[in-house]
């Protein structure tokens, strides 16, 4: 990244490119919807350097093609660290963000209960392949940034949150040590401080 771009901005850029990728069905704008047919996104970002710790997360964010920019905005401009659902949306609008004008049809047109053979034109979920996360870790000049984004799980209940936006579970960073980010079944991972444990063992 150019010197003028912060390491966290570079992490967010990389994650955003996955959120907007139409071939990715478990992150961002083309995700499998929840049981109500709505896409709810989770994302988080952590930036650490010696003596400094910054972070932001959003959970169950609706109406946006991605969530990493929202997590980044929480980290940069909010007095809180985690915002959820309609509160996250209200904060984003106060920051000048605007929901997507139109939902991306290939994502939202699709009822959750469609049979696989009807689910043409996009990647088919295989067993264990209906959830995933993009995670990026980068370091520059002693500043370490870890970010992640996911739509959680195909046909999840509305309001379900997995590991990804939970600090210490889905992502963690310790200055001078390292960072970790998780992917997998968030209903299992979120029960444990998985990435905190991984970094603690480094
Ligand atoms: N790791 C993504 C999720 O299950 O929420």
Q: 6-29 pLDDT, tens per residue?
A: 999 999 999 999 999 888 889 998
Whose CA is closest to atom 4 on ligand 1? 186
pLDDT digits (tens, 9 = 90+) for 179-193: 999 999 999 999 999
133 annotated active-site: yes
The most confident of the ranges 110-114, 153-157, 196-200 is: 196-200
Cα 39 → chain centroid:
12
Q: Judge whether 55 and 82 are in contact, CB under 8 Å.
A: no
Helix and strand numbers, DSSP H then E, in the chain: 6, 7
pTM for this predicted structure: 0.87
By most ligand atoms within 8 Å of CB, the mutation choice from 131, 134, 148, 182 for ligand 1 is: 131
Residue found by looking up tokens 């809180």 in the block: 80
pLDDT digits (tens, 9 = 90+) for 70-85: 999 999 999 999 999 9
What is the model's pLDDT at position 124? 56
Closest ligand 1 atom number to CA of residue 150: 2
Tell me what percent of the chain is helix, strand and coil, each rounded to the nearest 5. 25, 25, 50
Element (H, E) at 143: strand 143-150
pLDDT digits (tens, 9 = 90+) for 94-143: 998 887 744 444 444 444 433 344 455 555 555 556 788 999 999 999 99
Q: Is the pLDDT of residue 88 over 50?
A: yes
What is the model's pLDDT at position 103? 46
Q: Is the pLDDT of residue 41 over 60?
A: yes
């Amino acid at each position: 990244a150019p010197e003028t771009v912060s390491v966290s901005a570079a992490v967010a850029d990389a994650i955003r490119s996955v959120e907007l990728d139409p071939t990715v069905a478990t992150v961002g704008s083309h995700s499998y919807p929840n049981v109500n047919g709505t896409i709810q996104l989770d994302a988080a970002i952590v930036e650490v350097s010696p003596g400094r710790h910054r972070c932001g997360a959003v959970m169950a964010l609706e109406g946006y093609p991605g969530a990493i920019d929202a997590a980044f905005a929480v980290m940069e401009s909010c007095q809180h660290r985690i915002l959820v659902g309609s509160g996250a949306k209200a904060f984003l609008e106060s920051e000048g963000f605007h929901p997507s004008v139109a939902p991306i049809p290939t994502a939202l047109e699709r009822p959750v209960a469609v049979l696989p053979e009807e689910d043409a034109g996009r990647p088919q979920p295989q067993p264990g392949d209906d959830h995933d996360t993009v995670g990026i870790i980068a370091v520059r000049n002693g500043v370490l940034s870890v970010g992640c984004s996911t739509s959680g799980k195909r046909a999840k209940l509305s309001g379900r949150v997995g590991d990804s936006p939970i600090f210490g579970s889905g992502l963690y960073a310790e200055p001078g040590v390292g960072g970790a980010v998780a992917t997998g079944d968030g209903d299992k991972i979120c029960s444990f401080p998985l990435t905190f444990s991984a970094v603690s063992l480094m």
